[in-house]
A and B are shown apart, each in its own frame.
Chain A
Amino acid sequence: MNLELTEEQTWLRESVGEMLARSAGDDGLVPASAGDALWRELVEFGALDVGGDEGLGAVELALIAWSLGGRLAAVPFVDSAALAYVAPGHGRAALAYVAPGHGRAALGLSEPGRSFTPAEPSTSLDGGCVTGEKSGVAFAGSVERLAVAAAGPDGPVLALVGAAGAGVSLEPESTLDPTLQPARVSLDSADAEPAAGAPVAEVSAVAGVLAAAEAVGAAAAVLELACTYAAQRRQFGQTIGSFQAIRHLLADMYVKVESSWSSVLYAAAALDEHEPDGLRTASIAKAYAGRATHEVAHGALQVFGGIAFTAEHPAHRFLRRIAARGAQFGTPREHERALGRSLAQRLEVPA
């Protein structure tokens, strides 16, 4: 029962932090133009070397996602790492599985017009061909490989599809966070191979935890900016951070950031240790962190006041990223609904 980072985990977080600091601009954020170079650096560093005795687990992947969120880096880490996590084999073999070459993949787990139920897809896999539609596929246009949930002959599977293959068409979607470049993916008898031993529920859980980790990293960063601002900005002849209304708002935001992070780490550790309720814990973390980080972003906008509503100020970029990651892989509401159903089912008495 220990949720403290090990020395290796602390080193990992510091190393990724330094890498990101080098990529960042004057505003402390990683510009979109640095995305490709940062991705190569992350892959060379081993950020996708998952599994085995030496490799990374969900906890380590969450630490990396947290760091990326703090600098609003726009790289397809969450999806690629989640796929690597469930890949057979480990280390570089897992990376090769995610996608040959650059190792970039995007997950297609949501479908247009449907609630988030990745294990009940209407997309189908039949005779090596996949047909259906996926929505909200982040970075779909810049990855080598798509991994989509599809109904196979023996139940739901993850089907691997070349992003540039025949029968695959992309259409950019409207989004709160354009840096994630989400697209609707239409698959019309596209060549696909089923991903062996990668259950849809597990990849969805890991992806949800990593998306939440990125959102918590972003929330922690925007909280820090808001605290700094509150300690400098003066109104009524004093710093606004000395007003109780602002102090208590920031204190509540701090509790939301820290408790979200605890929940994400707990869920990641539960997945790594194959705890029996690991999937449920992941759902709880995704639901909670989604709402809590969103409230932190709203609180930060309130503390910054009018300046937060200028395009130049970074506050809206944090808000956009946090909202988009919160909605991905199941909104808080969808996870709450699913948790509520399972609570009811476990104890429902026959009428």
Chain B
Amino acid sequence: MKLALEPEERALRDEVREFLAEHCPDPAELPHDLDERMAYLRRWQSRCYDAGYVGRAWPAEFGGGGRPTVEQIVVDQEMASAGAPERVAIVGLDVLGPAILAFGTDAQRSRYVTPILSAEELWSQGFSEPEAGSDLASLRTAAVETDDGYVVNGQKTWVSWGQFSRWCGVLARTDPDVPKHTGISLLIVDVESPGVEMRPMEQITGHAEFCELFLDDVLVPKENLLGLPGQGWEIAMHVVAHERGTAALPRQVTLRTWLDRLVADAAALQRDGAPLLADEGAQSALAGALIQIEVLRHHATRTMSAFLNGGAVGPESSGVKLLMAQAEQTLGLTALEVLGYEAAGEFWHERYLYSRAASVYGGAQQIQRGIIADRVLALPKE
């Protein structure tokens, strides 16, 4: 047990800090227009990749840095701490890239991995369907094998950044005659193929970060199958559990920078002629948010320690996911309570509205509790 960074990790942290001091974009610089914004974010990720800060722990032969995983965590935490823009290729970096590395062929790894790291090609995931949300395994999108490849028909939803993606990892049913989890395969769909339509959907934040995806007789070459036929569910669950564990450490740093901003915003305000921050209720509410964020850090650190020491990220990552949603939602609501629901302003309104999704995306809160009940506590099945 040791909290302090090793000398090499400390040196890396200092190096990243220097890089960020020189290159980190001012958030005010980010273009408002979504297309321009995406182009800007791709240039930023590409610059970070050139500096060795993206895919640092991915295999060197496929464009990664070949370094220990802890180094990527150090980098990500520094990036979050400096308020650096998010990694635009996030779906590729967190979900499909790791899936290709773990389950893909060498040809697939050589073809797809490096462009994810450099943000040259963005990815989306076609998992959820209008009738298959929490009950993902009941998905209906069908892929029928023909001599030319798989012919895919169906509809997907919540396809994050779909309109900007070059490739989409689509879960489709390749065998309708076996129990529902076992007949699903993961296909790499070229978004430019005939029959693919991405329709952006406006979210409650006013942005359109996700799409509906319509697949109409889309032909997918056989070499675009990831893993084995029928292995899609296993691959998806593996990478999603992994993502639950790894996303939390940089996320808690981001939440911490937002809390600092909230305290600063509150410090600038008066209420009833007295400083807002002198109010006991406001102080306790801020402390409550701080505690949630710090405990997320403590718990994610312990969960990730097991992984960094060679263990797998298992169902315990569902606990991290639940705490992550709780911390984010506590902060979002606390901002409104402390600053005033209306007076809080656009930044906090957006944080608050977005925070409500934290207990839904990536597997709803109730799904996480079910995973813990089944696979950690081994309770009787429902």
Contact A284 B2 (CB under 8 A): no
Contact B302 A281 (CB under 8 A): no
Contact B373 A1 (CB under 8 A): no
Known: A247-B370, A340-B284, A340-B287. A1 touches B377 (CB 8 A): no
Q: Is residue A2 within 8 Å, beta carbon to beta carbon, of the partner chain?
A: yes
Contact A242 B298 (CB under 8 A): no
The 0/1 profile, CB within 8 Å of A marked 1, for residues 350-379 of chain B is 000000000000000010111011001111
Partner of B369 from A247, A346, A351 at Cβ < 8 Å: A247
Contact B305 A4 (CB under 8 A): yes
Q: Is residue A230 within 8 Å, beta carbon to beta carbon, of the partner chain?
A: yes
Rounded to whole Å, the gap between the CB of A196 and the closest CB of chain B is: 28
Query: Which residues of A are found within 8 Å of B34, using beta-carbon distances?
Result: none
Number of interface residues of A (CB under 8 A): 54
Known: A230-B379, A254-B372. A284 touches B294 (CB 8 A): yes
Partner of B308 from A2, A6, A336, A343 at Cβ < 8 Å: A2
C-alpha gap A247/B372 in the complex (Å):
9
Scan residues 263-279 of chain B and give those whose CB is less than 8 A from a CB of chain A: 263-264, 267-268, 270, 275, 277-278
Stretch at the interface among B175-183, B213-221, B316-324: B316-324
C-alpha gap A281/B3 in the complex (Å):
13
C-alpha gap A348/B287 in the complex (Å):
15
Q: Is residue A311 within 8 Å, beta carbon to beta carbon, of the partner chain?
A: no
Q: Is residue A235 within 8 Å, beta carbon to beta carbon, of the partner chain?
A: no
Known: A1-B301, A1-B305, A251-B373. A273 touches B295 (CB 8 A): no
Most chain A CB inside 10 Å of its own CB: which residue of B277, B278, B298, B373? B298
Residue of A nearest to B365 (CB): A248
Known: A336-B284, A344-B277, A349-B267. A284 touches B291 (CB 8 A): yes
Rounded to whole Å, the gap between the CB of B348 and the closest CB of chain A is: 17
Known: A242-B379, A258-B316. A273 touches B369 (CB 8 A): no
Number of interface residues of B (CB under 8 A): 56
C-alpha gap A248/B287 in the complex (Å):
27
Stretch at the interface among A67-75, A113-121, A149-157, A264-272: A264-272
Residue of A nearest to B297 (CB): A266
Contact A263 B5 (CB under 8 A): no
Residue contacts A-B, CB under 8 angstroms, 24 given: A1-B5, A1-B9, A2-B308, A2-B309, A3-B298, A5-B1, A227-B378, A242-B380, A247-B370, A250-B377, A255-B322, A255-B372, A262-B298, A265-B298, A270-B3, A284-B291, A284-B294, A285-B298, A343-B287, A344-B282, A344-B283, A347-B263, A347-B264, A348-B267
Apart from A242-B382, A255-B323: 12 A-B pairs, beta carbons within 8 A: A251-B372, A254-B372, A259-B295, A262-B295, A263-B294, A269-B2, A336-B284, A337-B287, A340-B284, A343-B287, A344-B278, A349-B275
